[in-house]
Chain A
Amino acid sequence: MRSVVTIIGKDKVGIIANISGLLADKNVNILDINQTVMQEYFTMIMLVDISNLSISLVDLKNELEKIGKEMGLSVRLQREDIFNKMHEL
């Protein structure tokens, strides 16, 4: 199964390091990354494979949100199928 991690907020040092560190620690494989910085605002979308996730999806979501809070970013995790369902026939 795949999920989408979205990080939005003010750019700063260590965003990718912190997020990807946690993902690696929980056995999540990053499949694709799309990132831009527009007027200091950082938007990163990661497509991740959670098939071998070592904790529950909800726990991973909580931990990601915790990092987001500490770094002053909006970090969210959503299952990929919601976007496919909504935007594709």
Chain B
Amino acid sequence: MINRNNILETIKMIDEQKFDIRTITLGVSLLDCADTSGEKSRMKIYDKVLRYAEKLVPTVETVEKEFGIPIINKRISVTPIALVAGSSNDKDYVEYAKILDIIAKEVGVDFIGGFSALVHKGNSKGDDILIDSIPASLYETNKVCSSVNLASTRAGINMNAVKRVGEIVKETAYLTRHEDSVGCAKFVAFSNAVEDNPFMAGAFHGIGEREVSISVGVSGPGVVKNALEKVKGESFDVVSETIKKTAFKITRAGELMAKEVSKRMDIPFGIMDLSLAPTPAIGDSVAEILEEIGVESCGTHGTTVALAMLNDAVKKGGIMASSHVGGLSGAFIPVSEDQGMIDSVNRGSLSIDKLEAMTCVCSVGLDMIAIPGDTPATTISAIIADECAIGMINNKSTAVRVIPVYGKKVGEIAEFGGLLGHAPVIQLNSYSSKKLINRGGRIPAPVHSFKN
């Protein structure tokens, strides 16, 4: 039996509303690749990842064609490198980043994530070396993404690491200054990082994960916006129901395709990440959904409540649709990757303060925000610390991916290229946070962490 409406609706979603699967991410554990010799360890990493990832790109491309739904990115995530490289006698881990970059290029994936350290409670030797190696690693590689988890609800905030990461962001911005400091677009600082996130820059294969897994991140802001255009003027009850139903459809498509990839590669299916991920393309914007819900321009009063409702409805629809939901699962609000957000910043309706408020109710954080190149490292650390606090207190993942664009001032445009998009440099508060950041130490875990 042919259901004409269903078929034509799906085709319309793909052709006109930019429905796609944002990423299929292969997670590979590298825990058995540690070695006292860095060189040997890297050989093991190369052999292992290549063994599993060899067929990733051709398999994904075949599945994409058979179902007729585009899969935009193919990615790999690995065990946080600090845990693997920590066993070696190396004094710097740039070579580890380089081998990851070589792997990514050989198998043809868009990004490889996991040049990461988990330091929410404190740093081990490997963590220190890895963090110090981030700027040079991001400068010398193209496809490697890096992340550091600085805080958690259970452990509090590692303020020493927060301070150091602010400096790392500045160093990375300087080293990649000829490309609008694009290195910073491949680094993210986390609070409550999740172990199964398929999205970059924060993807890594957590230590609680199995040997290998296939995870998937869907997209579809354009589809949600289109569905909402049909319920203009209706109450929030109708709006949230509409979003739920749309999220259901998108998620089911993503899971079916991911499971097909998983079956063909004989690698277990991990999770489905329900995040609504925008792209710089017109009509593929989370900001435009918020404006469709009723704010004149994203960032004005009412934006937070609209985003909270959107985020929740997406999750409810998605949870029903998938057997294993995980990752970040919510609405992403990256500025440079979302034309509606860019326009809102340019119109003056979206500020860094409002973005911070929005991160309290959606899944991630301050994402892909261009800030003035002369921003002090301590101010960047303070922005990160604020986000860590929001994550820690609210039991959620938050992140900071800001780009202090070398040599650029408020209002100038930074160009990052491709899916990373472009962004106007945003105004920050000019008062200093130096004394706060220089205190260092560890902010104790909040009282509600004592749940046992």
Contact = CB atoms under 8 A, between A and B. Distances in A.
Interface of A: 4, 6, 8, 32-34, 43, 45, 47, 57-58, 61, 76-79, 81-83, 85-87
A85 B7 CA distance: 11
B11 interface: yes
B4 A79 contact: no
A58 B66 contact: yes
21 contacts: A4-B2, A32-B1, A33-B2, A34-B2, A43-B8, A45-B7, A47-B2, A57-B66, A58-B62, A61-B65, A76-B68, A78-B67, A79-B66, A79-B67, A79-B68, A82-B67, A82-B256, A83-B10, A85-B256, A87-B6, A87-B10
A45 B5 CA distance: 11
Contacts of A8: 11
B10 to A, nearest CB: 6
Q: Name, among B10, B11, B66, B69, the residue most crowded by chain A CB atoms within 10 Å (CB to CB).
A: B66
A30 B144 CA distance: 48
Given A45-B2, A82-B68, A87-B249, A76 B11 contact: yes
Contacts of B255: 85
B4 A82 contact: no
B252 interface: yes
- Prevailing SS type, chain B contact patch: helix
Contacts of A85: 252-253, 255-256
Contacts of B253: 82, 85-86
A45 B4 contact: yes
A34 B4 contact: yes
Nearest to A76: B68
B66 A83 contact: no
B203 to A, nearest CB: 25
Given A32-B2, A76-B68, A86 B10 contact: yes
Q: Which 7 A-B pairs have the closest CB atoms?
A: A78-B68, A87-B6, A85-B252, A86-B249, A34-B2, A85-B256, A82-B67
Contact of A82 (B1, B3, B69): B69
Nearest to A87: B6
Interface in B1-46: 1-4, 6-11
Contacts of B66: 57-58, 61, 78-79
Interface of B: 1-4, 6-11, 62, 65-69, 249, 252-253, 255-257
Given A6-B11, A77-B68, A83 B252 contact: no
Given A34-B4, A82-B69, A87-B3, 19 more contacts: A4-B2, A4-B7, A6-B8, A34-B2, A43-B8, A45-B2, A45-B8, A58-B65, A61-B66, A79-B66, A81-B256, A82-B67, A82-B256, A83-B7, A85-B252, A85-B253, A85-B256, A86-B10, A87-B6
A83 to B, nearest CB: 5
Nearest to A62: B65
A57 B63 CA distance: 10
A84 to B, nearest CB: 9
Contacts of B256: 81-82, 85
Contacts of B6: 83, 86-87
Nearest to B256: A85
Contacts of A32: 1-2
Contacts of B9: 87
Contacts of A87: 3, 6, 9-10, 249
Nearest to B63: A79
A34 B62 CA distance: 27
Nearest to B1: A32
A8 B14 CA distance: 14
A47 B2 CA distance: 7
Contacts of B67: 78-79, 82
A32 B1 CA distance: 7
Contact of B10 (A47, A61, A77, A82): A82
Contacts of A43: 8
Contacts of B249: 86-87
A57 B2 CA distance: 20
A29 B253 CA distance: 25
B218 to A, nearest CB: 12
Contacts of A81: 256
A12 to B, nearest CB: 20
A41 B257 CA distance: 31
A68 to B, nearest CB: 13
A89 to B, nearest CB: 9
A36 to B, nearest CB: 8
A8 B7 CA distance: 12
B220 to A, nearest CB: 11
A81 B8 CA distance: 15
